[in-house]
Amino acid sequence: MTGLNISNELAYKALVNKDSCFEGLFFAGIKSTGIFCLPTCRARKPKKENVEFFSTAKEALANGYRPCKICRPLENPGETTAEIKSLLRELELNPSVKITDYKLTQMGIEPNKVRRWFIKNHGMTFHTYQRMLRINNALQNIKNGDKVIEAAYESGYESLSGFQHSFKKVVSQKPSESKNGNTLSFERFSTPLGPMLTIGNNDGIYLLEFTDRRMLETELKELEKYFKASILPGTNKYIKELKVQLDEYFEGKRKEFDVPLKTFGTEFQRKAWDALLTIPYGTTRSYEEQAGIINAPKAVRAVGAANGSNRIAIIIPCHRVIGKDGKLTGYGGGLWRKQWLLEHERKFVS
């Protein structure tokens, strides 16, 4: 299989187990039927010798396979399709625009397909996403000195009362009370290891996680509570810079990140995370070595727990910490991603 560094054994195991963590990361070509499927396909699983794997649907098609009618691999919700990308770009350039179902149909895009994608990847409909994006844009304008009525009309609202109702529903404040309030923007984007979610504002990056991380929902609630902030769709200069630097990292062109990070935790957790930042690219440390660096040689388990509470994947490199015996242990993004990241860095370390 080309592309991702995933063994055929791991891919076949994921196929048999219908593991959603691998959705969009490979496609299985079934030699006996001539079709190709997603890892989560409900169809009866073939024997191992009757499967070959591809990193993209394009490769599967080029090798003569037809898309499965059960799992519909060309409609994979785990990927950001060209249609969705075009919609996101339009909203980023003009957050006040309203893209109705009628307009989607005129654009040749099926509204229900867009709705399913946003529910799958953002837990909300496309129209809710747009509404939250407009509110986020209005909130930033109010903080920058705009009057409430100006922010309402600039964000695409036709009536002040409608804007105030929507604003309070999302932000839990009246627009006039929000100037000193706090808001965080989130953006979802694709990477070679699957989709990731980042949260930030003009102070820095607060979170970077794979979207299938089990603790993600808890982490979002912790952020909202600790910073007393609303988390809304949108972008800012640091989210844009983060995406550029991650692309460079995955291409092997970047070994260090310099976007500002905003973390919070206990004193011990912060010491553990600071120690992670000192691990050079392409190298590893054991949990015992990390504990020694923070002058807590007996707190190996606590170090492991602190690493597991890290909310900023890859940049704060908890993937570089391994067991004393050299084995890979514990990683919120999955051990297969930890292995991939370590092998990726070793490839470019020189």
Q: Tell me which residue of 87, 85, 283 sits closest to 195, measured CA to CA.
A: 85
41 carries an active-site annotation: no
d(CA 181, CA 338): 38
β-pairing, 196-201 vs 204-210, is: antiparallel
What the block records as the tokens of 308 is 């597991």
Q: What sections of the chain are H helices per DSSP?
A: 8-17, 57-62, 82-93, 101-106, 111-122, 126-143, 148-154, 160-171, 216-227, 237-250, 267-276, 287-293, 300-308, 335-348
Q: Give the active site residue among 37, 41, 68, 318.
A: 318
The secondary structure of residue 237, as a DSSP letter, is H
- Name which of 152, 147, 149 is nearest 131 in CA terms: 152
Question: Which residues form the catalytic set?
Answer: 318
